[in-house]
Chain A
Amino acid sequence: MLKILDFFDYAKSESLWMAHFCTGCCSLEMAAAMGPRYDWERYGYLPTPTPRQADVLMITGLVSKKILPALLRTYAQMPEPKYIVALGACSFDGGPYNDSLSVIKNPTEILPADVFIAGCPPKPEAIIEGLEEVKRKIKEGIPSAASQGGLWQEMEF
């Protein structure tokens, strides 16, 4: 019995589907990661049209104030277990838009990310490596960061 459950856990870690949601310019490199040269489908990643079937939410770059509610709502619509990957400098501290008056400087304080991928924008290799990191975390049984805390739990959206 335990073996069967282990198999399902392993399957969860090896099959990551992405919600189709872009908040900023890093989605351009995400498209390149889907393309023929990098082809993240080799590792089993697949974009899905609706968040209902997704396992991973990618914060692709900057998060403006206006898109934050949509981001939170998309996250809430995903089924458990779910993970968040933050792309680029913007999703860490605002990056080049740190001084801007309409960008959230610390989106991951609101919605904590499991993996950060550095770069502006990150290269496709880095994106794939970051997603592999998510796989490792799932295999080790680490719960997702957003389920452990973050301001999003107190917000109404």
Chain B
Amino acid sequence: MMQTITQAVVFPGLLYALIWAVGLFWFFRKFMATLHKRVGPKFNGIAGSYQTLFDFSKLLTKESITPDGVNPYLFSIMPPLALIIAMLPSAFIPWSDGFIVVGSDYGLLALVVLIGIEPFLLFLTGFGSNNKYSFLGGVRILTQSISMETSFFLAALSPGLLFGTMNLTSIVESSTWFSFLILLPGFILYFIALLGLLEQPPFNIPDAEQEIVYGFYTEYSGTNYFLLKIAEFAEFMAVFAGATTLFLGAYKGLLFDSYFFFFIKMILIAMFMMTLRAATPRITMAQMLRFSWKYMVPITLINLAWVLLAKSLFFMGA
């Protein structure tokens, strides 16, 4: 009992998500500033490391406005719900050797399903805001997630197919440098689908500032916005952790195995995503749909065929 509560509140639960959100927000700002030839947060703490802590603390205690004409229940229930759903996948992740909250034989399935639910909740936040821009943002996120999640699921399935299991711990344990090479195309496809799922450029269509103000976030303020923002970062964590577990061997390190390597791998993915973000403009909805259904989905299917072929060539005999 005690252990369960600790896992829910401390690691990999709420506190971990909060620290991760504060840290990642700071890292995003600092890294982006470097790419912009700027300095970024500087004067609060070492290299401005307290800055995002202050930002989130401020949001937590600021006034939460419920605008006129919204459904107050829908409007205020969605942010906490979004946060809970976004934090659930971390229960299925093998964070370090032998540490996993729910060691299920269907861990892979649970992971992708829980990641896939999040956009629908965000759609409801936009739907419940009684604002044209929020609604447009909600519709956009729904459209985008439907088309991007297909390839996301198919790409995430390839390690399961290769190792013949949906148990995430077994997937990590059976992964080798050789299997990484076989799964490399799958990893690239997963990464591209990840950009679409996390609304990162060039697929940052749902919260395109210059087009629809801030999408489904537009009407949220104070605590509600705080919860949504934490949920967004928890979603980042879930997707990065998924990539690390499925393709990069999770906690496996060079000399010893530890959570440290898990963390480094997630940060590397984040850095790659940010660099892309600093150099890629946004594309339109139509272009995204065309890209997703005409190229991504067929290629992920071909990738599955390649994984099957590789399995029959290199793994069946053993």
Contact = CB atoms under 8 A, between A and B. Distances in A.
Contact of A52 (B40, B44, B60, B221): B221
Interface string B214-234: 100111111001000000000
Interface string A27-63: 0000000011001011110101110110100000000
A49 B220 CA distance: 12
A50 B218 contact: yes
B218 A39 contact: no
Nearest to B65: A79
Given A39-B39, A52-B220, A80-B63, A44 B54 contact: yes
Interface residues of B, number: 36
Contacts of A41: 29, 33, 38-41
A107 B38 CA distance: 34
A3 B42 CA distance: 25
A7 B63 CA distance: 17
Interface string A108-129: 0000000000000000000000
Contact of B41 (A44, A53, A55): A44
B54 A14 contact: yes
A15 B29 CA distance: 14
B173 interface: no
A52 B65 contact: yes
B54 A15 contact: yes
A75 to B, nearest CB: 13
Nearest to B207: A49
Interface residues of A, number: 26
Nearest to A79: B63
A11 B36 contact: no
A11 B54 contact: yes
Contacts of B36: 36
B53 A53 contact: no
Contacts of B59: 53
B38 A49 contact: no
B210 to A, nearest CB: 9
A136 interface: no
Given A15-B54, A41-B33, A44-B41, A50 B213 contact: yes
Interface of A: 7-8, 10-12, 14-15, 17, 35-36, 39, 41-44, 46, 48-50, 52-53, 55, 77, 79-81
Given A11-B58, A42-B42, 4 more contacts: A8-B57, A36-B36, A42-B40, A53-B221
16 contacts: A11-B53, A12-B58, A12-B61, A12-B62, A14-B54, A14-B58, A36-B38, A42-B41, A43-B42, A44-B54, A46-B55, A50-B218, A53-B221, A53-B225, A55-B58, A79-B63
